[in-house]
Structures are given as C-alpha cells and as structure tokens.
Amino acid sequence: MPTNLELKIKLESFNRTKGLLKKINAKFIRTLNQKDVYYKTGTGLLKLRVENGQQSVIKYVRNEKDKDRFSDYHLLKISDGKAENFFEGIFPAEAVVQKKRILYMFDNTRVHLDTVKNLGYFLELETLVIKGKLDAKKRFGKIIELLQLSEYDEIRNSYRDLILRNKK
C-alpha cells in the first residue's frame, strides 16, 4: 500500500502560493473537478472520487494524532461509471465534498490548491514515500520552507470531517 506524508492549511487566496510555485518551478499538471463521496466504515476512510468524469475508490488510514500525518492508501479505478449507485446500496454516505483542485508537482510532492464548496480555499501537500519516511520528511520539509508554510496552522482533519462539523 503506498504512503504519503500530508499537510493541509486554510488560505485566504491562492495568489501568494501560485507566485511561490512559479518561483520554485513547480510543474502545473492540470485542473480537476472532484466530487468525493465519503462512506461510513468501521476503520479508516472510504471515498468514491468522481474526477473529470472518471471514478475511483480510495481507502486510506491516517492517525490524525501522530506528529507526522502519514497516510496509507489504496486506489482502485472504476471503469463502468456506476460506482456511486453501487455503493449507496451498501454503505451509508456520510459527506459529499465538491472541489476544484489545481494540481502541481514538485519533487514527488503533489501540491493541491483546492477551492472546496462551503469551506473555502486550502492548500494540501502529499509527499510520496519512495525511499523511506526519513527521505519523505526531508523533501516535505523542503517544500514547506520554499512555500513559506510554517506560519500557517495545520488542519489535522479530512474535508469529510470539516463538512460534517459544518453540518452541526
């Protein structure tokens, strides 16, 4: 199962971050329109992602209380486009997160600039663990420094948690 090291912060806008991404030569990949349907499960998180018309199921486990937010995940592509109907008969949907994601890459780190419906603007980093967790932490720390993110408060919740909190 692949592993990421993750960070999420709330932003007022993307202007400053886009300028810094350009300065460090981060590669713009594409803009994605995503709908994530989170399902109630016993452990971890299970979501169906509809992304620019394509569907995939993502299962991940992350301890939000650990100092470092390592996330083990498994992604399964769905080819018939009917996964949402299939899952709604098995698992109760807990939350639906709709977002526009601008995706950049820098040194095996996915940089997401997310505009999340009813929540606002966020930056997420996902550094892929390739040569061990220490190497990932080093690369992760480098991009945090280059993007000047240490001044922001980290959000240690998924978008699912934030949406559910807003419903209360």
pLDDT at 168 over 70: no
Could you tell me the CATH number of the domain that includes residue 86? 2.40.320.10
pLDDT in tens, 52-61: 889 999 998 8
Can you tell me the mean pLDDT for 57-73? 86
Across the chain, what does the average pLDDT equal?
91
Burial class (CB in 10 A: 0-12, 13-18, 19+), 19: exposed
pTM: 0.90
Can you tell me the mean pLDDT for 4-13? 95
Are 107 and 142 a contacting pair, CB within 8 Å? Answer: yes
By residue range, what is the domain housing residue 157? 3-167
Number of separate domains in the chain:
1
User: Quick one: tokens of 149?
Assistant: 């993110």
Strands (E), 13-160: 27-39, 45-51, 54-62, 69-78, 93-106, 109-116, 120-128
Can you tell me the mean pLDDT for 52-75? 87
Q: Which three-class secondary structure state does DSSP give residue 162?
A: helix
Q: Which three-class secondary structure state does DSSP give residue 92?
A: coil
